[in-house]
Structure 1
Amino acid sequence: MANVVERPWGWFETLGAGDGYLVKRICIRAGERISLQRHRHRLEHWVVVSGCGQLHCDGEDLEARAGTTLLVPCGAIHRASAGAEDLVIVEVQRGAELREDDIERLEDDYQRISVQAAAVVS
């Protein structure tokens, strides 16, 4: 099941899935970050397994290093950023709908802003 999906900021792979959960390993390349985003149908639990950087969730910032954990509630605005080295996170998603299109991008370094977010910003 573990096929790597490349993104402009790094990559992710799905490690496993079951009824109401999905597990991914995410690698954010040094100096890169994922979009500032939220999800309508899932919560996420992040565990940093290696690297360094910063985690952001609903206005709070947390230093990311091996062992750091963060619960991202459904609807929370969040982002992960890598520091001087790649940041590797194991992400457990929980929810009734676990799809890649449940990402509302509010800000993005790669111009992938969601239509809903663009309407809010305009």
Structure 2
Amino acid sequence: VHRPWGSYKTINLGERHQVKRITVKPGEKLSVQMHHHRAEHWVVVSGTANVTIGEKTQMLSENESVYIPIGTVHALENPGKIPLELIEVQTGSYLGEDDIVRFTDRYGRQ
């Protein structure tokens, strides 16, 4: 699935989990968002990720990971010069794409 910031591909889908491979283009950022029904685990495969979870921002490199609890405001950005590749594991009672509450989005999405 193509997005303004890059793309993602669902690689595994179950009743209460979903696994995606996400590619974020250099210099791009996903919306500041939260989810009511799912938590997420992000594992960086290659590149560098600037991750904001709540009030905390940190840089992640290859083989590093973070956990985003249900209901936590978060954002993902690729500050590097190469594509950021990560694996996202979603767990929860509902995993639909419409469980996204966006707070800010540089692409004008709601």
Aligned equivalents of 2:49 and 2:94: distance in 1? 29
Q: 2:14 aligns with which of 18, 25, 33?
A: 18
Q: 2:101 aligns with which of 100, 104, 109?
A: 104
Choose between structure 1 and 2 for higher RCO, CA contacts under 8 A separated by at least 6 residues: 2
Counterpart in the other structure of 1:87: 84
Residue segments in structure 2 that go unaligned for 5+ positions in a row: none
Counterpart in the other structure of 1:67: 63
Counterpart in the other structure of 1:33: 29
TM normalised by structure 1 equals 0.87
Q: Report SS of the residue matched to 2:27.
A: coil
Q: CA deviation at 1:37?
A: 0.2
Q: CA deviation at 1:83?
A: 1.6
Which structure: larger Rg?
Answer: 1
Q: CA deviation at 1:97?
A: 0.5
* Percent of paired sites with the same residue: 39
Runs of 4+ in 1 over 3 A off after TM superposition: none
Residue segments in structure 1 that go unaligned for 5+ positions in a row: 114-122
TM normalised by structure 2 equals 0.96
